[in-house]
Amino acid sequence: MFSKIGILGLGLIGGSLARALKKYNYPATLYGYNRNQEALSQALDSGAIDIAVHDWKELNDCDLIVLCCPVNINIQLFEAIQPFLKDNVVISDVGSTKNDIYSALSTYDFKGYFIGGHPMAGSEQSGFDATKAELFENAYYVLTPQPSTPTQYIEQMAQLATSIHAIPTILDPKRHDFIVAAISHVPHILASSLVNMVESLDSAEKEMYTLAAGGFKDFTRIASSSPEMWQQICVANQDAITQILDYYMKQLTNIREQVMAQNSTYIYDFFDQSKRFRNTFQNKARGSIDKSLALFVDINDETGVIADIATRLSKKEISIKNIGINNNREDFGGVLEILFYDESSLNEAIHVIENANYKIIES
């Protein structure tokens, strides 16, 4: 295990990481740094960190440093702290792209090891005030070590992820960026483009806007994400994103041509293939788009909680289509996902669950 850990950036992810390590008794001294001194004081006073860092020299005994700021800031932080780090120190981060930071760090004569990290957890809130120790429970924590990284350090990082009740997953850095481009980055671009399309094509009477309050609103929910964050992600992961977009545009061209040709067989197979594959997702972590009849409940990973909620719903004769743990928590904070057959069941369930003092994240 790491005995001294520096967490640079005490916002939602960094602050929650510190809280989680403390809550689950990870045996390390935690050093914390934040540009906002008020947040730094909050972290220290709350016990989330043991030592507030004001001078980079204070990090020279740390055997793990976790960079928890935007990628461009993380690179600046690495440049600043590098002269004060001991040999064989492990550096990690929490960003959703890896190629850019690996490229930047490769230009330094760094005597330690960089193991990229991407905890797939998040919230609509930000800052230290929004932090919670349970943020990572049952969420995937992707690690992206290079082939030359000693196994012992990879195992220590995986052990750290497990200790905060996350699920460690190992991926090659380039493969990671390609995967998140396909399942997260490009879908965000598509959702935003669809919203922009409706605004552009709508009439003065705004019929599209009025009718979009149903399924279209659910489908494009992720278009409400931070423009600044997605600007940075698109620039950082441009190669993978453009590759996925090129493939997608070819698919759109193909279906457009077949619709023009009224090729019923092709059109049917197009929808049938997507339906069959999408249906296999039912027992997995669901994606970030189709959730119109889903309820997300923020619960602690404690024995009996799921049974308690299921029992309360059963007593009210509310039918559940599916229930399970959601392992991708980037776009919403809930860990328990409940899927219903109809909207009336969903609405009744909201009433039951809220009366039981559980927090509903989104429905």
What would the pLDDT profile of 109-132 be if each residue is shown by its tens digit? 888 999 999 998 876 567 888 888
Q: Give the Cα-Cα-Cα angle 235, 240, 244 (nearest 5 degrees).
A: 115
Rounded to 5 degrees, φ, ψ at 4 are -135, 120
Distance CA 96, CA 71 (A): 9
Q: What is the mean pLDDT of residues 255-273?
A: 95
What is the per-residue pLDDT for 127? 84
How far is 271 from 14, CA to CA, in rounded Å?
42
pLDDT of residue 200: 95
Residues of the chain with CATH 3.40.50.720: 4-171
Class of domain 4-171: alpha beta
CB atoms within 10 A of CB 215: 11
pLDDT at 255 over 90: yes
Question: In the chain, where does the domain assigned CATH 3.30.70.260 lie?
Answer: 294-362
Mean of pLDDT values over 277-306: 65
Q: Give the pLDDT score at 330.
A: 60
User: Does pLDDT of 100 surpass 80?
Assistant: yes
* Residue keyed to tokens 């019923």: 264
Which whole number is the average pLDDT over 94-101? 89
Q: What is the mean pLDDT of residues 4-17?
A: 95
Cα–Cα distance measured from residue 26 to residue 22, given in angstroms and rounded to the nearest whole number = 6
CA-CA-CA-CA torsion sign (299, 303, 308, 314): positive
Residue 32 has what pLDDT?
A: 96
Asked whether 261 and 326 are in contact (CB, 8 A), the reply is: no
Closest CA to 306 of 348, 336, 350, 285: 336
Strand partners, 50: none
Q: Decide if 6 contacts 24 (C-beta within 8 A).
A: no
Distance between CA atoms of 297 and 289, rounded to whole angstroms? 17
CATH class of the structural domain 176-261: mainly alpha
Closest among 92, 102, 243 to 180, alpha carbons compared: 243
What distance lies between CA 227 and its chain's CA centroid? 16
Query: What is the reported pLDDT for 285?
Result: 42
Classify 101 in phi/psi space as left (phi over 0), alpha (psi -120 to 50) or beta: alpha
Q: What is the mean pLDDT of residues 6-33?
A: 95
The answer on pLDDT for 331 being more than 90 is no
As beta bridge partners, residue 324 has 337
Confidence of residue 363 (pLDDT cuts 50, 70, 90): very low
**Band (321; pLDDT cuts 50, 70, 90):** confident
Q: In this model, does residue 289 exceed pLDDT 50?
A: no
pLDDT tens digits, 207-251: 898 888 667 877 787 787 778 888 888 988 999 999 999 999 999
Q: Which of 67, 75, 62, 119 is nearest to 93 (CA)?
A: 67
Q: What is the mean pLDDT of residues 293-314?
A: 81
Residue 290 has pLDDT above 50, yes or no: no
> Mean per-residue pLDDT for 96-108?
87
| 79 has pLDDT over 80 | yes
User: What is the average pLDDT value for the chain, to the nearest integer?
Assistant: 87
Q: Work out the number of other CB atoms within 10 angstroms of the CB of residue 198.
A: 16
d(CA 341, CA 321): 6
How confident is the model over 282-305, as a mean pLDDT? 61
CB 312 within 8 A of CB 342: no
pLDDT at 288: 33
- Closest to 95 in 3D by CA, of 115, 114, 70: 70
Cα–Cα distance list, 79 to 110, 147, 187 (Å): 10, 23, 33
Q: What is the CATH number of domain 294-362?
A: 3.30.70.260
CA triplet 1, 13, 127: central angle to 5 degrees? 140
Task: Give the helix ranges, DSSP H, for 181-334.
Answer: 186-201, 207-211, 215-219, 227-236, 238-260, 264-279, 305-315
Quote the pLDDT of residue 265. 95
pLDDT value for 68: 94
- How far is Cα 236 from Cα 229, in angstroms, rounded to an integer? 11
67-83 average pLDDT score: 90
CB distance 306 to 341 below 8 Å: no
Enumerate the β-bridge partners of residue 340: 320
Helical pair 238-260 and 227-236, crossing angle rounded to 10 deg: 100
C-alpha–C-alpha distance, residues 39 and 7, integer Å: 13
- Indicate the pTM of the whole model: 0.75
The percent of residues above 70 in pLDDT, for the chain, comes to: 92
